[in-house]
């Protein structure tokens, strides 16, 4: 793997907005305004809610619940923008209400809770755990470790140990298949979700996790890059929401098509290429995804088969989709790369009931395309 031109080695992060003509003042203003819309007191756009003196949660406004996905996303946004109080509020809420101390999933986080903290489920979702881990490592590198639960690095290392070693005593399951090194959709199943694959995260886990686990994470980064090649369609570039380990769509409950989870693949490919120049295939696939959507208007985005056949069902999250297509421009070098970024720039954050997922993806894309989704190293 060649990383010599990636930000991991150079410390340089592309600001694609600036590349296509926006100035730093308006870029920074857009970031500040978007943060305020999501984390401030704007009822039509906010997804962050404070509780008491030291807790807060990210609300899935479409389902009226709190998910590990959103909590970990909020923490990553906060650490990228040096918002320690927001980070700590979210983490303390997570530890208080979501962390499971007994049962098959002890050591993991319950993926869905009500805003009052009561659990909707005692099952975990691995995409939350992997985001928690890296957000905590970055927090440790930015702010240093404090007293529990703000001993960020220890919390991250413990979690990264659990996701691999859970079940060794005969109780529970790891979140990765330890043989093929691929992340599972949930611990007690044997299939994956392509949008969970974050090889750029695993590269960093291979540096900062417990020493005995570092070789696994290095292998997992390579395994995920190879898996995405077989999970994404060779012509459209689209990935299914669920896929088997051989990359074929898993149609359980209708999740074998390109739909909401799948949008994140384009973003993940873009960021892996920006940080590590993970694989030149990422350039090709980012180009394919952008070409597929080039003749489609956001108002007409739909569910698609991975080979591109549209369903009548409209996209639930068109703003999230155009945001991730724009973030793919960190890897793309085709004719549509700048068009996708301009479309994103000219699209406001989403309002209304379904705004949560769209606006999470929107914020990540805004950070990434402005050069502000960074690797934070220990001092």
Task: Answer yes or no: are the C-beta atoms of 137 and 209 closer than 8 Å.
Answer: no
Taking residue 286's Cβ as centre, other Cβ atoms within 10 Å add up to 29
Task: Answer yes or no: are the C-beta atoms of 86 and 39 closer than 8 Å.
Answer: yes
Helix (H, G, I), strand (E, B) or coil at 255: coil
Cα four-point dihedral sign 336, 337, 343, 346: negative
CA 337, distance to chain mean position in Å, is 21
CA 243, distance to chain mean position in Å, is 18
Helix (H, G, I), strand (E, B) or coil at 314: strand
Q: Which residues contact 346 (CB under 8 A, 6 or more apart)?
A: none
Number of residues that this document lists for the chain:
379
Task: Answer yes or no: are the C-beta atoms of 328 and 340 closer than 8 Å.
Answer: yes
Q: Which residues contact 49 (CB under 8 A, 6 or more apart)?
A: 56, 57, 58, 59, 115
Which residues have a catalytic role annotated?
A: 69, 261
Find the distance separating the first CA and the last CA of the chain, reported in whole Å.
26
* Buried/exposed code over 173-202 (b: 16+ C-beta within 10 A; e: otherwise): bbbbbeeebbbbbbbeeebbbbbbbbbbbb
Rounded Cα distance, 127 and 72, in Å: 9
User: What's phi and psi for 15, nearest 5 deg?
Assistant: -110, 90
Helix intervals (H) in 294-378 = 318-327, 337-345, 355-369
3-state helix, strand, coil in the chain (%, to 5): 50, 10, 40
């Amino acid at each position: 793997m060649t990383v010599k031109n990636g930000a991991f080695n150079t410390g340089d992060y592309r600001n694609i907005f600036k590349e296509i003509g926006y100035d730093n003042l308006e870029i920074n203003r857009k970031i500040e305004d978007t943060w305020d819309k999501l984390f401030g007191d704007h009822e039509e756009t906010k997804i962050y809610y404070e509780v008491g003196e030291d807790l807060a949660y990210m609300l899935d406004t479409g389902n009226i619940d709190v998910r590990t996905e959103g909590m970990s996303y909020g923490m990553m946004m906060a650490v990228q923008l040096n918002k320690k109080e927001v980070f700590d509020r979210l983490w303390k809420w997570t530890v208080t209400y979501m962390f499971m101390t007994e049962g098959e999933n002890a050591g993991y986080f319950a993926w869905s809770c009500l805003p009052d903290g009561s659990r909707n489920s005692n099952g975990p979702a691995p995409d939350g755990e992997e985001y928690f881990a890296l957000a905590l490592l970055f927090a440790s590198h930015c702010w240093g470790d404090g007293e529990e639960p703000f001993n960020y690095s220890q919390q991250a290392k413990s979690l990264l140990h659990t996701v691999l070693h859970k079940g060794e005593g005969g109780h529970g399951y790891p979140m990765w298949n330890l043989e093929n090194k691929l992340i599972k959709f949930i611990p007690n199943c044997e299939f994956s979700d392509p949008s969970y694959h974050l090889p750029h995260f695993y590269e960093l886990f291979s540096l900062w996790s417990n020493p005995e686990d570092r070789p696994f994470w290095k292998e997992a980064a390579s395994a995920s890059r190879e898996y995405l090649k077989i999970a994404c369609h060779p012509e459209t570039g689209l990935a299914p929401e669920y896929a088997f380990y051989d990359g074929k769509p898993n149609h359980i409950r209708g999740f074998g098509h390109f739909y909401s989870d799948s949008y994140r693949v384009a973003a993940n490919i873009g960021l892996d290429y920006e940080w590590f120049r993970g694989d030149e295939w990422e350039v090709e696939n980012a180009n394919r995804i952008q070409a597929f959507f080039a003749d489609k208007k956001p108002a007409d985005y739909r569910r698609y088969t991975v080979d591109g056949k549209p369903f009548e069902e409209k996209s639930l999250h068109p703003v999230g989709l155009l945001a991730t297509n724009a973030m793919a421009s960190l890897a793309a070098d085709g004719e549509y790369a700048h068009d996708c970024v301009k479309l994103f720039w000219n699209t406001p954050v989403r309002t209304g009931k379904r705004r949560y997922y769209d606006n999470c993806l929107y914020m990540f894309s805004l950070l990434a395309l402005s050069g502000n989704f960074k690797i934070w190293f220990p001092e």
